[in-house]
Amino acid sequence: MSRDDILPLIAAWDGEGVVVRYDKPTDTWIFIAFHSSRLGRPTGGTRLRVYPDLRAALRDAMRLAEGMTSKWAGLGVRYGGGKAVLAIRRPLDAADRRGLMLRYGELLETLGAFYTGADLGTGPDDMVHMARRTRCILGVDSAGHATDPGPYTARGVAAGLRSALRHRFGDASPAGRRILIQGLGGVGAPLARRLAAEGAELLLCDLESAKAEALAVETDGRIVPVDRVYTEPCDVFAPCAIGGILDRRTIAMLACQIVVGSANNQLDGEDDADRLRKWGILYVPDYIVNAGGALTFSLMADGVRDEDELAGRVDAIGSAVADILAEADVAGTTPLVAARRRVDRLLARSADED
């Protein structure tokens, strides 16, 4: 990677800065993107994956960091927007992965400017390793025990999904609704279990067929092949894997009434929110509905440990979704525009308070 590969991306970005580090033992590039510190210290997850190229990894870090600014502001939580990407060249064995996490933890401790937690490709065990080298970790307690954010994120998605169902159909219950979940990992799987318990008819899709088969047996769901995930008729399409999947081509293929899921940056571009509206599909902005894990970790960092209180705060995501959908209807605009206006109001209020 040369300077010419990434400097134009950084120069064109509206964020505050990017930290770049190369981890030679694992041939991994580390990008930490700081989008905004207006509300507080930049905070966001650390993503680990193989990217097609390093420009794609940097773009992902920047876009995700911007999403975190909106997420924290939308929740009214005083953290700033940041995100980290560990762009590995190949899957790592256990020893290499542990070494990378320890060295990455040392970098975070040196910076002291970014707090992080688990994200796509990383999990509680990674956070425990990192916490041996840094205090800048959310979700790991003083005894070194890590909390899995996935079930909390799934709870928030379910709350937002119920609000979307009420808005579209007049009934918030998932019972009898056909819900297609794309991606059955740390959030998709607990979301499936939660919705199955509420009587939903589940359609399950994952690149790992064995994972989908096992969860289908557990939840009495039906497997949808990857090549039919966009065209399968359903009431709700729940993207819970990678982002950037909803574009001009895939939106025209959708056979659903609602899109609500945990994947970050589901839209390929902002124009895709207008396309969904044109096709009569209700879209719930991902950075609002997928905030349950981040919200829980921020509350834990403030000393909140009571599970009932945590659950209540996460369930309030449903109220935020309801408000955004109602505002969009009144204004005759998309839920994405309404969510952005909500974020702008909260950021402006914070600036006035300062």
3-state SS, residue 183: coil
3-state SS, residue 237: strand
Question: Is there a contact between 290 and 156 (Cβ–Cβ < 8 Å)?
Answer: yes
Sign for the pseudo-dihedral over CA of 52, 58, 63, 68: positive
Catalytic annotation on 278?
no
What does DSSP assign to residue 148? P
Tokens of 350: 């914070």
Tokens of 300: 């834990």
Tokens of 290: 């997928």
Report how far residue 8's alpha carbon sits from residue 3's, in angstroms, rounded to the nearest whole number: 9
Nearest to 115 by CA among 138, 99, 94: 138
Residue 351, H or E segment: helix 335-353
Report how far residue 9's alpha carbon sits from residue 310's, in angstroms, rounded to the nearest whole number: 38
**DSSP readout, 289-316?**
HT-HHHHHHHHHHTT---HHHHHHHHHT
The single residue of 71, 83, 211, 278 carrying the catalytic annotation is: 83
Give the CB-side neighbour count of residue 236, counting CA atoms within 13 A.
34
Question: Is there a contact between 61 and 83 (Cβ–Cβ < 8 Å)?
Answer: yes
Report how far residue 311's alpha carbon sits from residue 296's, in angstroms, rounded to the nearest whole number: 8
| Residue 111 buriedness (CB in 10 A; 0-12 / 13-18 / 19+) | middle
What's the distance, CA 204 to chain centroid?
19
Question: Is there a contact between 186 and 193 (Cβ–Cβ < 8 Å)?
Answer: no
List residues with catalytic annotation. Answer: 83
